[in-house]
Structure 1
Amino acid sequence: MTTPLPDAGTTPPPGCPMHRGAAAPLFGPAVADDPHGLYARLRAEHGPVAPIELEPGVEAWLVLGYPELLELTRNEQLFSKDSRRWRVPKEGRLAADSRLLPMTSWRPTLLNLDGAEHQRLRAAVADTLARIDHRQLRATTEAAADALIDSWGPDGTADLIAQYARRLPLLVFTQLLGLPAEAGPHLIELISHFVDSSEKSVRANAEFQAILVDLVRSRREEPGADLTSWLLAHDAGLSDEEAVHHLVVILVAGNETTINWTGNTLRLLLTDRRFRNTLAGGRLSVSDALDEVLWRDPPTQNFPGRWATGDTVLGGQYITAGDMLVLGLAGANADPSVHGPDGIGGNRAHLAWGAGRHVCPAQHPARLIVETAVETLLHRLPDLQLAVPAPELAWRPSPWSRALVDLPVLYSAFTPPRPTAPHERPTWTPPPVLPPSSSTPSAATSTGRTRGSARPALRSWWNSLAGWWSGR
């Protein structure tokens, strides 16, 4: 729990682990290769709140304790969402080209505000999402999933990240927002450019924003039965600019986390015998797999953040005013104090959606989309199998998202005869990389990325929203 310090000017004592040299880097291969091991080591060394570096010389705190994370997210008086309080940039210690800027820069959205203004914007978004017809959403998702599966080539191979999980959410979201169905593939292409900072990112940025500005203007004049119209009609009275900002939140942040949740669930079903061997028998369900992923490998593993409004103590650590605290969602989920003797089966007390006033308002439609996507795929391709050994699957090296690079699979309708030797496995041929166009995703989202390579620096502010939805 937190305890305000008696003297607002108190500095950490010389033995405080926050002093430079004791902080562990929250970047590099360790975050991708073995995040669970990293969080366990930090917990063992420092307790529920650990000193970290987000970049060399840029310190922060990673909150790994379950009760400490609840305190962090529920106490706005001590821990604010306003990143303008961060003392590192105030002290001139954040480089102008820092990769942290997209994730920490202040924006006028529900993600960065406290108090009444946050509640006004959150109410508009939450009430708008609550109007979604879940039956129609399931039908829309299933139709989009079927269309993607039908588009795969006749060789019985697919990459479930590039060809399924990465493409499906936007095909659904565009229709929810009131955009025509054919706009989905084009938005996938635009987002892929500015998320991966391609040479077309500036133009893609401008075009993406222009599409949403035009959508808001048209729905202001002629409302329809869609999220954009409902958002504009809400009693909160959002301006056109505020509406565009929050459509970006829904599209980009919702898209990224839905991709990761779908991919991580499919990985679990394809690699864990408990699920693979019992799905047909009905003992464990897709819903069980979804919950386990939210506990073990949530789509957003860490989330920045909160900023201390004054000197205090959290989890036994001295926190100074202006310090940044990172929500360790995956680490807090692994806190031994919250795991009973029967494990986590049937338990949805995880923190993958965040907690407090900023808890994710989109969890119910997000779950329906992912569940429908996974169930449709298993129904269509019931003998789906990995095309590579599970240990060869690589994770993107992000301290924020928990996301696979790819998920290559085979399905028997077109699979060549299996080799007889037990140590052999079928060869996976990557799908062809299509040239970017208005109707196909760019090569940056397909199989062109080198396995295990770092993603390019994220430069667009639109990308700052990626991975934020589950950390609200």
Structure 2
Amino acid sequence: MTSPLPETDPVPPPGCPMHRAGGGRPAPLYGPAVSDDPHGLYARLREQYGPVAPIELEPGVEAWLVLGYPELLELTRNEALFSKDSRRWRVAREGRLAADSRLLPMTAWRPTLLNLDGAEHQRLRSAVADTLSRIDHRQLRTTTEAAANALIDGWGPDGTADLIAQYARRLPLLVFTQLLGLPAEAGPHLIELISHFVDSSEKSVRANAEFQAILVDLVRRRREQPGADLTSWLLAHQAGLTDEEAVHHLVVILVAGNETTINWTGNALRLLLTDRRFRSTLTGGRLSVSDALDEVLWRDPPTQNFPGRWATGDTVLGGQYISAGDMLVLGLAGANADPAVHGPDGIGGNRAHLAWGAGRHVCPAQHPARLIVETAVETLLHRLPDLQLAVPAAELKWRPSPWSRALVDLPVLYSAFSPPRPAASERPTWTPPTAPPPSDSTPSDATSTPRTPGSGRPGRRSWWNSLAGWWSGR
């Protein structure tokens, strides 16, 4: 692929792949176009260029966006021709990627399953997949429900909340900090750092370095004192990960698991509040929460684009000439919208979407992520049955990320709480091996109606309520 053409050049030079691409300048995959109306952008690119479109990731940094469903499957299943090793990228090798580029945190090579092919990829993937498989799903559901109820109980009595800032963004960290064996107070700082480099903000490079420093310390401590957590299990795996490999894979688990879960929860709740058909089929029992979440993955997957693959040689994909070293971005949202894969009955209950990727690099964290999001949505629907959007749907704003599909906020109104299921005093709780002491503070009542007998908080606050209270500034 050639460099973008000067605006004064009316016609691409002979031999340029833009001749075959339909002409014109590569579309920017950054800025308002990709955050405000990505579906419209992908439709226009598909109409102009077909299933593979030329794009810019930054001014002067070109790539290809794969929008076709069969083309994306071909891309992800052909490791020999489309490698995960970002060191092949021509743009970086030619010195055209700035030292402070916002793309670096998402494209820089690391010794992880995301950047390797073949046997080495399989070794590292087995370590991550086996570690995640050790999660007790029943315990995870109990843990997530307890965290969700603690957050909801912490909301004020005025009947308003922001479901992104006060729920979707906090809930996964309450779960993942415990799963990984991180100290509770690390949660809010970690999510701030993750947001910076996933959004490719101006602070992304520094945030990425600080994020990894926290995990280096965690690995060091868990080498010395193993616990019943994902970090300890990863270090003990027979694959024999080095400390460096373990740190980088904790980054993968936290970013993939946490960021995806946040966005999936937020996008599901937005659809619930803005799409009458979706809400009526869900609350009326005609659609399970699990099926509803798959519809969200088709329509607004939490990761809309993902870097990437790098061509190992000159080839053709989707009618476009791809040069060795070109970067190809997985257009997950665009491929899901490919008209070729949508039948006359729509997509209800269909899990053939590409939200998790495909091939050998398909996301290994999808099952715990699904369980967390299912529990988050079910708990909220039970606790706040009259939940409604507080602003017109058109006023909702999206984060300016080329990779994530994530709302800035989701303000809601509600009139009353329903008590937790079962009563808080009877619910099982999970206390971590190194749980911090409970707070002496007494949270204020967050209900606008009397609680049923036995539904109040126990005298001694659980670990979840202490942590959720800290999140809420109590």
> TM (normalized to structure 1)?
0.81
After TM superposition, give the deviation of residue 65 of structure 1 in Å.
0.6
Compute the displacement of 1:137 (Å).
Answer: 0.3
Partner SS state of residue 18, structure 2: coil
**SS of the counterpart of 1:19?**
helix
**Corresponding residue to 1:111 among 114, 122, 125:** 114
* Cα distance, 1:278 vs structure 2: 3.1
SS in 1 for 2:19: coil
Q: Deviations over 1:34-72 (max 9, x none)?
A: 111111111111111111111222211110111110110
Deviation at 1:86, TM superposition (A): 0.8
- Inter-partner Cα distance in structure 1 for 2:457 and 2:301: 20
Counterpart contact for 1:294–1:350, Cα < 8 Å = yes
**Mean alpha-carbon deviation: is it higher for 411-420 or for 351-360?**
411-420
Distance verdict in 2 for CA 1:38–1:449, change over 3 Å: farther
* Structure 1 counterpart SS, 2:372: helix
Deviation at 1:395, TM superposition (A): 1.1
Listed one character per residue, the Cα deviations across residues 269-319 of structure 1 (whole Å, up to 9, x for unaligned) are: 111111222333211222222101110110111111111010000111100
Alpha-carbon offset, residue 195 of structure 1: 6.7
Hey, what's the Cα distance between the residues in 2 that align with 1:376 and 1:460?
A: 18
1:432/1:37 Cα in 2 relative to 1: closer, same or farther (>3 Å)?
farther
Match of 2:449 in 1: 447
| Kept after mapping to 1: 8 A contact 2:419/2:452 | no
- The offset of 1:218, in angstroms, is 3.1
Alpha-carbon distance between aligned partners in 2 of 1:19 and 1:74, rounded to the nearest angstrom: 28
CA contact (8 A) 1:77 1:309 kept: yes
Number of the residue aligned with 1:295: 298
Which one is further off, 136-145 or 26-35? 26-35
Q: 1:22 to 1:243 in 2, by over 3 A?
A: same
1:458 CA displacement: 41
Does the Cα contact within 8 Å between 1:302 and 1:329 map onto a contact in 2?
yes
- Contact 1:434–1:442 (CA under 8 A) maintained in structure 2: no
Q: CA RMSD in A?
A: 10.9
Pick closer, same or farther for the CA change 1:291–1:449 going to 2, 3 Å: farther
CA contact (8 A) 2:35 2:400 kept: yes
Residues 7, 165 of structure 1: CA spacing in aligned structure 2 closer, same or farther, 3 A cutoff?
closer
DSSP 3-state at the match of 2:282: coil
Deviation at 1:95?
Answer: 2.2
Change (3 A) 1:232 1:438: farther
Q: SS in structure 2 opposite 1:225? A: coil
Which consecutive residues of structure 2, in runs of 5 or more, have no partner in the other structure? none
Residue in 1 that maps onto 2:251:
248
Structure-2 separation of matches of 1:419 and 1:226: 27
Segment drifting more, 399-408 vs 238-247: 238-247
TM-score of the pair, normalised by structure 2 = 0.81
Moved more, 428-437 or 212-221: 428-437
CA contact (8 A) 1:310 1:322 kept: yes
Q: Helix, strand or coil for the counterpart of 1:61?
A: strand
Distance 1:324 1:460 in 2: 49
> Bigger CA drift: 58-67 or 426-435?
426-435
Partners of 2:197 and 2:208 within 8 A in 1: yes
Asked which structure has the greater RCO (Cα within 8 Å, sep 6+), the reply is 1
Q: Which moved more, 1:287-296 or 1:197-206?
A: 197-206
Inter-CA distance 15–334: structure 2 relative to 1 (3 Å threshold): farther
The unaligned stretches of length 5 or more in structure 1 are none
Matches of 1:464 and 1:77 in 2, distance apart?
51
Distance across 2 between alignment mates of 1:27 and 1:454? 48
Q: How many residues align?
A: 470
- Relative to 1, partners in 2 of residues 1:302 and 1:80: Cα closer, same or farther, differing over 3 Å? same
Deviation at 1:462, TM superposition (A): 27
> Given the superposition, is the C-alpha separation of residues 276 and 379 from structure 1 closer, same or farther in structure 2, using an over 3 Å criterion?
same
How far apart, CA to CA, are the structure 2 residues paired with 1:146 and 1:204?
31
Q: 160-169 vs 11-20, which deviates more? A: 11-20
